[in-house]
């Protein structure tokens, strides 16, 4: 099996570095790709579960654009729904009618919530949610999980990040995931001053194993929030529609007050949603919150079509089953080389790590070797499975993984 080369990607990146700060910024930055020379930086086209880079290399995609791709790239039905809206008028004076249709559909679909508001990015909604909680409770502070990610507003970033000020985190209290006593302590130390608790359905840090909630964790958090009048915010931006179509809270059995969705909601079209209970409708209505493109009809048409299709085919079930098939295959294959491949999180969003080498070098090399043969694996972030990944993709991926195991075994021998 030939390994891929990326001369055009690297050439484009050189040009980009001249005119774009960091060349490629944010979560697409090559910085966490190790070694970056093993990865493509620019994509030329995509179809189903695959994409092709500017050098013409073909990849089975296990990052799914970091989550938004859920039904497959260029999905005819979703693209048609988006195009139908574009033809009617995409960014118009006056809200589009399809917005109400989408809102009614989502309120019926998602469990335990009564209203929805739309924006573009996930961070728009996590920010909005904390504003609503502050307005509704008259309190200042938000409890979040240390290492949790909710977007890029200064308060969401870890203290000390460039461009943020100490004051930005003044009203943020960080607690350890799965440690209920930590939350209780934060609440006791700030009597009547906690507006909200925000967390993802389970813990998805980068460069670390992902962690499901311990038995009873969410129920205890919910009970404490109810007792103390704290708004419980579920950040379902990454997990949403890959665990349960009714919202990930149904998967884990608890009831949030506010839920933020984005990523998989429209198969790549830009839209996010904040949903909440009737108790918070009035506060939400009086907060001014908007954006130039938030009323675009195109992503709303795409979201409606995506959610209907995911529900019809039971998308989360398909992704869980496909993910499990791939994970079982990879774990078994690793064993034949003497490697312990640890899988954490859930199979539709798995996080992998070869435990033989704590430094992650072996794992990073294996992911890079897979990528250079056409299975796009990052080594530091959870992967994403879509409904477009078919058995033939899994089979091909296992063949690639086998070659990659051979390559790292040759490189490291019995060192690990």
Ligand X SMILES: Cc1ncc(COP(=O)(O)O)c(C=O)c1O
* Residues lying near ligand X in the complex (CB under 6 A): 121-123, 126, 149-151, 200, 235, 237-238, 262
Between residues 172 and 330, which has the closer beta carbon with respect to ligand X? Answer: 172
Task: State the chain's maximal CA–CA distance in angstroms.
Answer: 66
Between residues 235 and 365, which has the closer beta carbon with respect to ligand X? Answer: 235
Query: How far is 57 from 12, CA to CA, in rounded Å?
Result: 15
Query: How far is 294 from 276, CA to CA, in rounded Å?
Result: 18
Cα dist from 232 to 132, 135, 180, 224, whole Å: 11, 14, 14, 10
Q: Which residue lies nearest ligand X, judged by its C-beta?
A: 122
Between residues 93 and 292, which has the closer beta carbon with respect to ligand X? Answer: 292
The CB-of-81 to ligand X minimum distance in angstroms stands at 21
The CB-of-122 to ligand X minimum distance in angstroms stands at 2
The CB-of-269 to ligand X minimum distance in angstroms stands at 13
The CB-of-191 to ligand X minimum distance in angstroms stands at 29
Between residues 49 and 237, which has the closer beta carbon with respect to ligand X? Answer: 237
Cα dist from 160 to 31, 168, 204, whole Å: 19, 10, 21
The CB-of-261 to ligand X minimum distance in angstroms stands at 10
Query: Tokens at residue 206, please?
Result: 């980068």
Ordered strands of the 58-61 beta sheet: 43-47, 50-53, 58-61, 375-376
Per-residue buried b or exposed e for 93-106, using 16+ beta carbons within 10 Å of the residue's own CB: eeebebbeebbebb
The CB-of-30 to ligand X minimum distance in angstroms stands at 17
Between residues 158 and 181, which has the closer beta carbon with respect to ligand X? Answer: 158
Residues contacting 254, CB < 8 A, separation 6+:
218, 219, 221, 222, 232
Between residues 67 and 323, which has the closer beta carbon with respect to ligand X? Answer: 67
């Amino acid at each position: 099996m030939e390994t891929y080369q990326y001369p055009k990607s690297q050439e484009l990146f050189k040009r980009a570095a001249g005119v774009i700060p960091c060349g490629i910024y944010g979560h697409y930055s090559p910085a966490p790709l190790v070694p970056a020379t093993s990865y493509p930086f620019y994509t030329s086209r995509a179809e189903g579960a695959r994409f092709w880079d500017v050098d013409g290399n073909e990849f089975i995609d296990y990052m799914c654009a970091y989550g938004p791709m859920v039904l497959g790239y260029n999905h005819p039905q979703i693209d048609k729904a988006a195009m139908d809206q574009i033809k009617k008028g995409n960014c118009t004076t006056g809200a589009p009618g399809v917005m109400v249709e989408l809102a009614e559909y989502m309120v019926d679909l998602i469990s335990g919530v009564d209203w929805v508001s739309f924006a573009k990015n996930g961070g728009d909604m996590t920010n909005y949610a904390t504003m609503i909680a502050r307005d509704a409770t008259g309190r200042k502070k938000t409890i979040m999980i240390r290492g949790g990610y909710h977007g890029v507003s200064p308060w969401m970033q870890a203290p000390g990040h460039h461009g943020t000020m100490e004051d930005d985190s003044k009203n943020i209290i960080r607690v350890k995931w799965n440690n209920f006593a930590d939350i209780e302590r934060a609440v006791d130390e700030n009597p009547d001053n906690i507006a909200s608790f925000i967390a993802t359905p389970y813990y998805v840090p980068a460069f670390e194993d992902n962690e499901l909630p311990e038995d009873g964790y969410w129920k205890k958090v919910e009970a404490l929030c109810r007792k103390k009048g704290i708004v419980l915010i579920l950040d379902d931006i990454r997990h949403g529609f890959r665990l349960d179509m009714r919202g990930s809270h149904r998967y884990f059995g608890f009831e949030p007050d506010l839920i933020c969705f984005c990523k998989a909601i429209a198969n790549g079209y830009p839209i996010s949603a904040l949903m909440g209970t009737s108790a918070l409708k009035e506060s939400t209505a009086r907060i001014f919150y908007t954006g130039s493109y938030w009323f675009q009809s195109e992503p709303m048409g795409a979201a409606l079509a995506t959610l209907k299709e995911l529900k019809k085919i039971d998308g989360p079930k398909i992704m869980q089953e496909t993910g499990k098939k791939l994970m079982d295959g990879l774990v078994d294959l690793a064993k034949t080389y003497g490697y312990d491949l640890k899988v954490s999180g859930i199979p539709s969003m798995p996080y992998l790590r070869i435990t033989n080498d704590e430094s992650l070098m072996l794992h990073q090399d294996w992911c890079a070797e897979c990528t250079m043969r056409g299975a796009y694996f990052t080594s530091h972030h959870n992967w994403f499975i879509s409904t477009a990944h078919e058995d033939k993709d899994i089979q091909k991926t296992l063949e690639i993984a086998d070659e990659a195991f051979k390559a790292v075994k040759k490189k490291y021998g019995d060192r690990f």
